[in-house]
Amino acid sequence: MKTTSEQHDGPAAGPGSGLGTRERIVRATARLMQRQGYEGTGIKQISKEAEATLGSVYHFFPGGKQELAAEAIRHGDREFAEMLHRALEGRPDPAEAVLAVAQDVAAGLRASDWLDGCPVTATSLGTATHAPDIQRAAAEAFERWRGLVRDKLLACGFSAQDARELAHTVINTLEGAELTAQVARDEEPLLIAGRHLARLIGSYR
Amino acid sequence: MKTTSEQHDGPAAGPGSGLGTRERIVRATARLMQRQGYEGTGIKQISKEAEATLGSVYHFFPGGKQELAAEAIRHGDREFAEMLHRALEGRPDPAEAVLAVAQDVAAGLRASDWLDGCPVTATSLGTATHAPDIQRAAAEAFERWRGLVRDKLLACGFSAQDARELAHTVINTLEGAELTAQVARDEEPLLIAGRHLARLIGSYR
DNA sequence: CGCTAGATAGAGCGTTCGTTCTAGAGAGGT
DNA sequence: ACCTCTCTAGAACGAACGCTCTATCTAGCG
C-alpha cells in the first residue's frame, strides 16, 4: 500500500509529494475547480489528479462532491488570506498595499496563462440553487478578506464606516478586475483597479 | 436562416409565448446558464424549458452546446447594454448615472431572490480551457459595456485615458459587487460600489 | 397531386457522472 | 497470535450527459 496516511507514515506520506492523502485530495479539488468550476470537475478526475483512489476520497469526504467543494473553497480562502495579510502588514500605507496586492494577483494570473482565477468564485458560481454549504463557505471567504482590509484601514485611522465600506469595494473591485483580466487575457484591468483603489482610499485622507 | 417558423405560424409562433422557436431556445439557454452555469445546464433541460424538441435545438444550433452558450452570452450582452445605455443617456452627470446603474442591478438581483447574477460571467466561467468561442463572446460583452461608459465620460469632457481607465473600473467593480451581493444575499455591496464609483469619478473633476 | 426544404419529434448511441459497495492491506494494542 | 480500526482499492450501479439518427410534419410551388 502506498500510504496509510499521516498517522501511519508520518510527514512523508503521499506518493508524489510529501503530503497526506487527505491534503492531496483537497488541493487537487481546489486546483481543478478553480479552472473548471464545480460542475465541470468530476470526482474521478480529482482522485486521479490527487493520486488517490475513489475509496479514499469518499472515506475522507463522506459528504461527497459538495463537502469536497466546500473544503476546497476554505483552502483557497486561507491561501489568499495569507497573501493578503502579508501584503497588508508589510506596508504602512493601505493604498500602497492594495496596489501591491493587485499587482500580485495580476502576476499570478499571468503566470498560470490566465487559467487560475479566483478559486472561490469559480467553485461557488452556479451552485446557488442546490448547495447552500458551498455558498456559505464562499460568503465566509469574502467576509474574511474584507475583514483583513477593514482592520488595516482601522489601524490607519479610518472611521469604522469608511473602513468597512472601503473594504467591500477593495475586494469587489479586485474580484471583478481579475475576472475581466482572465477573460481578456490581459493584466491591465487589474493594474488599473489597483491604481483606482489607491486613489479612492487616498481620497479619504 | 434564422427561422421560418415565424413565417409559418405568424406572430404567435411559440407554444407558450409569442416568440419563434429559435428565440425561445436562446432565452431559455441564457436564463438557465445564468443560474446554473455552462456545465450545470443540460441541453435536454434547455429544450424542455424552451418548449422545443431536441431536434429543433440542433437544427438551429448545429454547433451544439458551445454555439448555444455563445449565443446566450450575446443575448445577455445586448440586454445589459441596453439597460446601461438608457441609464447613461438619461442622466447628464456620469457619476449619478453609474450610481443609478448600481441600484438597478441591485434591484434586479434582489427581485430574482439573488439567483440572476451576471449571465456573461456565469456562462463563461470554467470554459477557458476548452471553449474559446465562449470566452471571446464574454470578452466582447465586457468590452462593449466599457465602451458605453467610456463614451459617456468622453462626452462629459474626461480625457481619453481617464475615460478608458474609469470605464474599466466601473464595469469591473459592478461585476465584483454583484458577485458578492449574490453570494451574501445582500444588496449592500452593490450600493456601496455605486457610491464609491461616483466618488472616484467625481475625484477627476 | 408530387416535390422540396425547413422544422419538429424523440428513440437511441456511447460515455461519463456521483455514489455505493465489498474486499483487503497495514499498523497498534493485548 | 488475534482483533480492530483506518485507509486503500476499484468494480458496479442507475441516471444523466451531449449528440446522432431516422422519421414525420408543414408550407409553398408547379
From CA A36, how far away is CA A46, in angstroms rounded?
12
A38 and A71 Cβ atoms separated by less than 8 Å: no
A77/chain B closest Cα distance in angstroms: 14
Query: Tens digit of pLDDT for each residue in B113-127?
Result: 999 999 999 999 989
- CATH for B8-202? 1.10.357.10
Q: Helix axis angle, A94-111 relative to A64-89, nearest 10°?
A: 130
**Closest protein CA to C1' of nucleotide D28, residue:** B8
C-alpha cell at B81: 447594454
Q: What is the pLDDT of residue A18?
A: 73
A116 and A109 Cβ atoms separated by less than 8 Å: yes
The answer to whether the C-beta of A9 is closer than 7 A to strand D is no
Q: Is A84 helix (H, G, I), strand (E, B) or coil?
A: helix
**Which of 117-146 (B) contact A at CB < 8 A?**
117, 121-122, 124-129, 135, 138-139, 142-143
Query: Tens digit of pLDDT for each residue in B90-147?
Result: 999 999 999 999 999 999 999 999 999 999 999 999 899 989 999 999 999 999 999 9
Q: What is the pLDDT of residue A3?
A: 35
* A159 alpha-carbon distance from chain centroid: 28
From CA B93, how far away is CA B95, in angstroms rounded?
6
Contact flag B175-A175 (C-beta cutoff 8 Å): yes
What is the arithmetic mean of pLDDT over B152-170? 98
Helices (H), ranges, A61-131 = 64-89, 94-111, 119-124
C-alpha cell at A180: 475581466
Residues near A29 by beta carbon (within 8 Å), at least 6 away in sequence: A41, A46, A50, A68, A69, A71, A72, A75
CA A185 to C1' C19 (Å) is 38
* Residue extents of the structural domains in chain B: 8-202
Q: What is the pLDDT of residue B19?
A: 85
pLDDT tens by residue, chain A, 205 residues: 333 344 443 333 345 567 899 999 999 999 999 999 999 999 999 999 999 999 999 999 999 999 999 999 999 999 999 999 999 999 999 999 999 999 999 999 999 999 999 999 999 998 998 899 999 999 999 999 999 999 999 999 999 999 999 999 999 999 999 999 999 999 999 999 999 999 999 999 8
* CATH superfamily, with its number, for domain A1-62: Homeodomain-like (1.10.10.60)
* B118 alpha-carbon distance from chain centroid: 6
- A112-128 burial: b if 16+ Cβ within 10 Å, else e: eebebbbbbbbbbbbbb
Half-sphere exposure of B92 (CA within 13 A, CB side): 0
* B175 alpha-carbon distance from chain centroid: 10
Q: What is the pLDDT of residue A158?
A: 98
- CATH for A71-202? 1.10.357.10
Query: Tens digit of pLDDT for each residue in B18-38?
Result: 789 999 999 999 999 999 999
The answer to whether the C-beta of A172 is closer than 7 A to strand C is no
The residue in chain A having the minimum alpha-carbon distance to the alpha carbon of residue B172 is A176
A99 and A106 Cβ atoms separated by less than 8 Å: no
> Measured between alpha carbons, how far apart are the two ends of chain B, in Å?
50
Q: What is the pLDDT of residue B17?
A: 63
